[in-house]
Amino acid sequence: MRPFPSDALTAASRSRRVAALDCGTNSLRLLVADVAADGTLSEVERRTTIVRLGQGVDRTGELAPDALERTFAVTREYAQVVAATGAQDVRFVATSATRDARNRDVFFAGIRDAIGVEAEVISGDEEAQLSFRGATGAVSATHPGPYLVVDLGGGSTELVLGERAPEAAVSMDVGSVRLTERHLHSDPPTPAEVAAARADVHAALDAAAAVVPLGRTTTLVGLAGSVTSLTAYALGLRVYDRDAVDGTVLSVDDVLGACDRMLAMSRAERLALGFLQPGRADVLGAGAIVWAEVVRRVRDDVAAAGGALTHAVTSEHDILDGIARSMR
């Protein structure tokens, strides 16, 4: 039965239009959504632009001037979208690259000027919790918990375990941009470079496992651009299809195979993949290393605990969804 106009008006009055912005090490993303009283999201606009804010941060400790200008330019574009959609609240969240930068004040001033709100530099723990809230809202209806949500970014990777709410979380200082700049200098990377990058991920996972009991995982959920791009590759997509990628279930063997093949490619070969954003081609090999090592470690820890992890789920719902829900 179709709702009477008064019913529709009541439903509309219960929702709130919000704009969530997530500024990471590699990309700047926007979600405008209507958030209902129960936290349900109705998407109005979603955009992703590669800005590489974290360019050189691992080496210099500062945000580069050209990286800042790219970020400010895209923020001004997004501000126009936010204004056009009539969002009532705006929240701008910045993560790993900005946490690490000595010249954060320049970033804060530029964002304030571009969109009229204060940027928030959140901790790795809060980043993990927002990612968990965004991801599990989409997968809990079809997959059992406990969930291990893995948000694989450019500068850091967040791991958060829980069922109905986060129970343990940790942020690891390994990500696609950070590892590329630190270790993967050849094209394609040499075995020695790959081994050095993997050693960093192994050390980070050893520390993380002391905080997050990885062996309790029932459903492994991967988020963000490296994971979604690797999923698109595993699916054989010619152009990126968000609906096809969202909710994809891949066997552990398929995940590891896609990661190994992507790592072996040159940058030119990755650029030839029709589904891949050009700004991600040079760092996706490092993203493949992180995702493969996380999947292997979780599989092994689950097996040691007497269970079996046979697959991983990819979600297009992530920290942006969590930020949007936090404004309700």
pLDDT in tens, 130-155: 888 888 877 888 899 999 999 998 88
The pLDDT of residue 96 is 66
- Residues 150, 216, single domain; the answer is yes
- Residues 96, 145, single domain; the answer is no
- Percent share of the chain, pLDDT over 70: 95
The pLDDT of residue 131 is 82
Query: What domain range includes position 53?
Result: 5-121
Give the full edge-to-edge strand order of the sheet including 147-152. 166-172, 157-162, 147-152, 219-223, 311-314, 249-251
Q: CA-CA distance, 179 to 196, in Å (whole number)?
A: 9
Contacts (Cβ under 8 Å, ≥6 apart) of 306: none
Range with the poorest average pLDDT among 89-103, 172-186, 213-227: 89-103
Report whether 167 contacts 182 (CB < 8 A).
no
Q: Is 203 helix (H, G, I), strand (E, B) or coil?
A: helix
Among the listed residues 113, 32, 131, 130, the one whose alpha carbon sits nearest the alpha carbon of residue 71: 113
The pLDDT of residue 167 is 92
Contacts (Cβ under 8 Å, ≥6 apart) of 251: 310, 311
Which has more pLDDT, 214 or 6?
A: 214
Q: At what angle do helices 284-304 and 191-209 cross, to 10 degrees?
A: 40
Among the listed residues 281, 279, 221, 285, the one whose alpha carbon sits nearest the alpha carbon of residue 258: 285
Does residue 9 surpass a pLDDT of 70?
no
- Residues 158, 105, single domain; the answer is no
Last residue of a domain, which of 73, 96, 121? 121
Q: Model confidence over 163-205: pLDDT tens digits?
A: 988 899 998 999 998 999 999 999 999 999 999 999 999 999 9
- Residues 28, 129, single domain; the answer is no
Any domain includes 325: no
Does residue 18 surpass a pLDDT of 90?
yes
Q: At what angle do helices 225-235 and 252-264 cross, to 10 degrees?
A: 100
- Residues 31, 131, single domain; the answer is no
- Residues 158, 298, single domain; the answer is yes
pTM of the full predicted structure?
0.82
Q: CA-CA distance, 109 to 124, in Å (whole number)?
A: 22
Query: What is the greatest pairwise CA distance in the chain?
Result: 67
Any domain includes 327: no
What's the CATH number where 277 sits? Answer: 3.30.420.150
Among the listed residues 27, 75, 70, 56, the one whose alpha carbon sits nearest the alpha carbon of residue 229: 27
The pLDDT of residue 223 is 93
Q: Model confidence over 36-83: pLDDT tens digits?
A: 888 788 999 999 898 988 888 778 888 899 999 999 999 999 999 999
The structural domain count of the chain equals 2
* The two three-digit tokens of residue 40, written as one number: 């349900």
The pLDDT of residue 211 is 95
